[in-house]
């Protein structure tokens, strides 16, 4: 059914915005500020408000460059030092007459905005505790640490459902594959972070996790039928909307079933991702789900956005189709020009432009930004960011989340008395990357902890030769008491798979000795490695690779702590042999 939603295309835009209703709840004074501020703007000022720009390093030269082109309505910080974030926030607030929305990927903790921030745990680690209270604590860490350095907008919670274990981008960034858990944890995060004065941004509408491709690289598809979608993703969005989520991030993800239902004339080639689709933003998100808050696109630098149509057309098309803010730019001067041209040519009508600007200002007023609150204070920020209470919650999360998926009877616990000599197999890429996608080299840190426990630990090194000349099987079997694998393959953008690539020659580090030597496999990140090592009989998932997780893992391996985590996904990947 249509549940009282807007169903006629011609009624999708422009829309009458009720500033006193959910999610804004503005009083007379705040509503008057929104309307007065909007009406006093030039067209150029209004178009500037549509842009949420990226400040990658938060340095003065970036601000100077942006202000030479436009006055942005919002911005996003990548991860910098707390000192730099505070000083940049102060400079930004001083430079703009309309207070900006300041966002960050506050998905795992305060580490999403500052280097000193607390990584409480990945959403999947939080989900493995099976405690909604832990999702609330995640929001509290994100909200308090983000707010301390100037953020007022969380690009979170992620309410994608990790239904496809092959997805290289959802994975540990989600609360798992159970739609009910995703819905409950997403709504709990939304309520808490907004209670702390930050706008939530529920993402990535219409829902990632069905496709095995990444919208950073290709326009992806949520392939569910309308009814199944509404019972899963739709239910999660509805719950977060009812929790008063102020904003929603639309992805470069198609939802063909809903697009066709809302416009039966669409040919396959005309189906667009949500970030360009009036059917999905207007008909589904606004109409069916009744969302009255701000719609922001996902990063428009992604290939999933740039591939469907020419950028000259796409930039204004997103706003014309119902987005209120445009995230990032390939070239800011050029994209601003494309947007202005879209206004002047009538692609973006004056009514649609005013509607978008009204919602942007309404979010700012709902957060109280129009009241001219003082900016962040560095000394106060230092007391909040990385504080002991947040670190303790991170320890609790690790302790409650680590999951013993499979156990061969009698192998655990691992102690130096039982297994003095360990052959260690680390599986991880070179360290690098940035922000939330930074690869932390954790296998070496696990090895150090094992040595400290009193084990003799040798790292496996593949031999340069193969068939006929390999070291004798019996020599290896006689030399080691335990084989321990540690995989640290993280979810990050611009990769097509999160799979083990075994070493040459001929899978030299595969489980060649598991029938003769006790063997344990630990995944620090991706929970689906049983796909590539199905016969391993003792397998553990950790979902994060920070110090607290490594400490808790050693406690559990050695028997000093019990495994209590519950798998929030199917670690067996739907295969029968992974259960052997």
Q: Report, as residue numbers or ranges, the catalytic residues.
A: 298
Cis peptide before 23 (omega within 30 of 0): yes
Instruction: Say how far apart CA 579 and CA 143 lie, in whole Å.
Output: 40
DSSP-H helix ranges across 96-131 = 123-128
Name residues whose C-beta falls within 8 Å of residue 171's C-beta, 6 or more positions apart in sequence. 124, 162, 491, 498, 525, 526, 527, 528
Instruction: Say how far apart CA 234 and CA 216 lie, in whole Å.
Output: 23
Instruction: Say how far apart CA 76 and CA 100 lie, in whole Å.
Output: 10
Strand partners of residue 19: none
- Of 560, 541, 488, 579, whose CA–CA distance to 127 is shortest? 541
- Of 225, 124, 187, whose CA–CA distance to 569 is shortest? 124
CA max distance for the chain: 84
Cis peptide before 481 (omega within 30 of 0): no
One-character DSSP codes across 91-103: HHHHH-SSPPEEE
- Record the tokens describing residue 305, joined without a space: 């956005």
With H, G, I as helix, E, B as strand and everything else as coil, classify residue 473: helix
Q: Kindly provide the b/e burial profile for residues 170-189, where b requires at least 16 CB atoms within 10 angstroms of the residue's own CB.
A: bbbbbbbbbbebbbbbbbbb
- Of 272, 351, 326, 240, whose CA–CA distance to 10 is shortest? 351
Backbone angles phi, psi at 203, to 5 degrees: -150, 160
Instruction: Say how far apart CA 319 and CA 298 lie, in whole Å.
Output: 13
- Of 235, 214, 216, 215, whose CA–CA distance to 224 is shortest? 235
- Of 115, 96, 228, 208, whose CA–CA distance to 157 is shortest? 208
Instruction: Say how far apart CA 426 and CA 437 lie, in whole Å.
Output: 20
- Record the tokens describing residue 283, joined without a space: 């008909």
Instruction: Say how far apart CA 121 and CA 123 lie, in whole Å.
Output: 6
CA distances from 379 to 9, 383, 385, 401, 506 (A): 52, 7, 10, 33, 56
- Record the tokens describing residue 433, joined without a space: 């990357």
């Amino acid at each position: 059914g249509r549940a009282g939603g807007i169903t006629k295309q011609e009624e999708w835009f422009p829309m009458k915005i009720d500033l006193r209703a959910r999610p804004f709840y503005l009083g007379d004074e705040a509503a008057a500020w929104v309307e007065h501020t909007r009406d006093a703007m030039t067209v150029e000022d209004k178009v500037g408000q549509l842009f949420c720009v990226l400040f990658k390093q938060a340095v003065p030269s970036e601000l100077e460059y942006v202000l030479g082109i436009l006055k942005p309505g919002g911005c996003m910080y990548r991860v910098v030092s707390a000192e730099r974030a505070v000083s940049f926030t102060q400079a930004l607030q001083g430079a703009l007459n309309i207070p900006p929305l300041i966002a960050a990927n506050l998905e795992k903790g305060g580490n999403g905005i500052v280097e000193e921030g607390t990584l409480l745990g990945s959403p999947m680690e939080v989900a493995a505790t099976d405690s909604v209270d832990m999702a609330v604590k995640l929001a509290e860490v994100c909200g308090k640490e983000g707010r301390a350095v100037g953020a007022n907008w969380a690009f979170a919670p992620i309410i994608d459902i990790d239904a496809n274990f092959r997805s290289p981008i959802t994975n540990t960034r989600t609360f798992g594959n159970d739609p009910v858990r995703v819905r409950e944890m997403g709504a709990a995060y939304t309520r808490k972070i907004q209670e702390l004065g930050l706008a939530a941004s529920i993402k990535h509408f219409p829902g990632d996790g069905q496709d095995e491709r990444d919208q950073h690289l290709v326009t992806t598809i949520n392939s569910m039928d309308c009814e199944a979608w509404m019972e899963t993703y739709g239910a999660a969005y509805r719950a977060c909307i009812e929790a008063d989520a102020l904003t929603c991030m639309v992805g470069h993800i198609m939802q063909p079933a809903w697009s066709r239902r809302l416009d039966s004339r669409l040919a396959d080639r005309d189906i667009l991702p949500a970030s360009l689709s009036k059917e999905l933003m207007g008909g589904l998100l606004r109409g069916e789900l009744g969302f009255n808050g701000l719609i922001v696109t996902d990063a428009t630098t992604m290939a999933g956005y740039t591939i469907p149509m020419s950028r000259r057309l796409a930039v204004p098309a997103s706003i014309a189709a119902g987005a209120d803010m445009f995230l990032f730019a390939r070239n800011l001067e050029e994209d601003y020009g494309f947007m202005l041209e879209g206004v002047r040519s009538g692609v973006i009508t004056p009514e649609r432009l005013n509607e978008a600007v009204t919602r942007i200002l309404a979010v700012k007023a709902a957060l109280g930004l129009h009241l001219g609150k003082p900016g962040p204070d560095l000394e106060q920020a230092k007391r909040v960011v990385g504080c002991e209470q947040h670190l303790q919650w991170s320890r609790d999360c690790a302790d409650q989340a680590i999951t013993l998926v499979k156990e061969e009877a009698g192998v655990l616990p691992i102690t130096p008395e039982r297994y003095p000599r360990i052959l260690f197999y680390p599986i991880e890429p070179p360290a690098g990357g940035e922000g939330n996608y930074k690869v932390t080299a954790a296998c070496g840190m696990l090895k150090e902890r094992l040595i400290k426990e009193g084990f003799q630990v040798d790292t496996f090194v593949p031999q340069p030769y193969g068939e006929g000349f390999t070291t004798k099987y019996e020599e290896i079997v006689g030399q080691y008491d335990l084989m321990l694998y540690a995989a640290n393959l993280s979810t990050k953008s611009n990769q097509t798979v999160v799979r083990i690539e075994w070493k040459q020659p001929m899978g030299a580090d595969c489980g060649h000795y598991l029938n003769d030597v006790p063997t344990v496999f630990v995944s620090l990140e991706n929970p689906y490695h049983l796909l590539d090592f199905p016969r391993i009989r003792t397998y553990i998932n950790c979902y994060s690779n920070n110090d607290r997780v490594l400490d808790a893992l050693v406690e559990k391996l050695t028997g000093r702590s019990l495994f209590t985590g519950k798998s929030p996904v199917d670690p067996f990947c739907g295969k029968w042999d992974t259960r052997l």
